[in-house]
Structure 1
């Protein structure tokens, strides 16, 4: 099983990571993230054993869920960070109107795996619902990926709340 590199959300983003996140905040950057990176990344990360992905210097990994309808394994690229031993995910879907498919999958079957190369030890997913905990985790998430603030504004405008998910060791 592969290790998931630890991501400390209290550390400042590097200058290149901040610059890359700024590009992703632009309409062309967002379009590329939605229409190219989201489709290419799982295969690219698997082929390179997690060393190369379109997330570049952002903390990205492959999340493996079981399809809510199909029952088949599904793999998606996600940004993540650690909170103690837990892994935190933000179901932003780039600020679109609907939750990402991986979120629906883990709600139906909360046993997941996450790793840079698509493996990983089993973890149990649970949506964070406590308002104070959500505020704390949003503050950390915004440090990892500043465009999350833009995504919250976009989804609020269409009545969607972006979920935060905690992955605990199974």
Structure 2
């Protein structure tokens, strides 16, 4: 369906609206202590919009990295980095995470590279083979970020 000039939204407005609604539903479940989605552990990643400065809440899958650290993968559907990743990299000092049923905890974020990323990626791929499958079809390497409570 074509958009008329001057109409609100745009071609992707409905998809963004649906994604926002789905994220809000998952966030409510996480806050009520249910931290699984599609068989994966999920947390709420709180960031600040890189351009808007507005708070953002995004449910993301996480993988254990020992001593309270969590690993998250910026897959973004394969073709591009997700907005939460760009926001996190722009304002790393303003990020926090919420685990199921717990309050937000400020985090230090570290994008992994080299051997650290490879080691983490192996554990992630073993825990969730479908992520490795998505990565094998992508034209870019998914960033892996370690979130450590401050």
TM-score tier after normalising by the smaller chain length: 0.7 to 0.9
- Please tell me whether residue 142 in structure 1 is matched to residue 125 in structure 2: yes
- Determine if the alignment matches structure 1 residue 89 to structure 2 residue 72: yes
1:1-170 aligned within 5 A: 38-48=19-29, 49-52=31-34, 55-85=37-67, 86-95=69-78, 97-111=79-93, 112-115=95-98, 116=100, 119-129=103-113, 131-156=114-139, 160-170=140-150
TM, length-normalised to structure 1:
0.67
Whole-angstrom CA distance in 2 between matches of 1:118 and 1:38 = 24
1:114 CA displacement: 1.2
Distance in structure 1 (CA, Å) of the matches to 2:105 and 2:141: 29
- Provide the aligned C-alpha RMSD in A: 2.6
In 2, Cα distance between equivalents of 1:120 and 1:102: 16
Shift of 1:100: 0.4
Structure with the larger RCO, 1 or 2 (CA within 8 Å, 6+ apart): 1
In structure 2, the residue corresponding to 1:60 is in which secondary structure?
A: strand
Q: 1:94 to 1:167 in 2, by over 3 A?
A: same
Relative distance call for 1:60 and 1:162 in structure 2 (3 A) is: same
In 2, distance between residues paired with 1:50 and 1:161?
A: 34
> Tell me, which stretches of 5 or more residues in structure 1 are unaligned?
1-33
What is the number of equivalent residue pairs in this alignment? 132
TM-score by length of 2: 0.75
